[in-house]
Amino acid sequence: MELPNIQILDEKDKRLHQKSEEVTFPLSKDLIQTIYDCLTYLEMSQDEELAEKYDLRAGMGLSLCQIGIMKRIFVVSEDHGDGTFGRYIVINPKIISHSEELIYVGEGEGCLSINRETIGIVPRYARVKLKAYNEFGEEYTIRVREDIAIAFQHELDHLEGIVFTDKIDPKNPFKNKNIMREI
């Protein structure tokens, strides 16, 4: 398997703090290929052997703004642990509803654009329902929960120009931890 030519922007890049634009259909063949390349990159990063070979940090999601394409598109690849992956292509997403319950990642969230240690928690909804489109312009509705819900919300933030560290209170990085559930 060959590593796709994906160059991930560092957090210092101003584009990561800009809002991405709505996508119009049909998508170009090049853009569809880029979407598939991002999924392949994520899957390779989650394979220990390939990650070591190519010096990759494991990633579960990637917004196209993280590679300099300012479109409202993100992908998530969920490792099922048996050599297969759940692939999500999410274009022009809109949250329809969410749970009241808040959760957070115990060891802290990570981001392929942030190459430093971060301390603190980010409150996320335990369950999210959204409307989006696939790469062919077909609308769908999806409900996600737990770690996939966190990944979707993390990537949705990127589309709004928000990096997860923006959501950590610098004075109190574990603020309100007692009212959320750790996952």
pLDDT, tens digit only, all 183 positions of the chain: 789 999 999 999 999 999 999 999 999 999 999 999 999 999 999 999 999 999 999 999 999 999 999 999 999 999 999 989 999 999 999 999 999 999 999 999 999 999 999 999 999 999 999 999 999 999 999 999 999 999 999 999 999 999 999 999 999 999 999 999 999
Q: Are 103 and 180 in contact (CB under 8 A)?
A: yes
The reported pLDDT for the residue numbered 44 is: 96
Show which residues are catalytic. 155
First to last CA, the chain: 32
Strands of the sheet containing 102-104, edge to edge, are 124-125, 102-104, 181-182
The reported pLDDT for the residue numbered 83 is: 86
CATH class of residue range 14-182: alpha beta
The reported pLDDT for the residue numbered 130 is: 98
The torsion angles phi and psi of 46, rounded to 5 degrees, stand at -90, -5
Q: Show me where the domains of the chain are located.
A: 14-182
Q: Are 135 and 90 in contact (CB under 8 A)?
A: no
The reported pLDDT for the residue numbered 104 is: 97
Side chain identity, residue 14? K
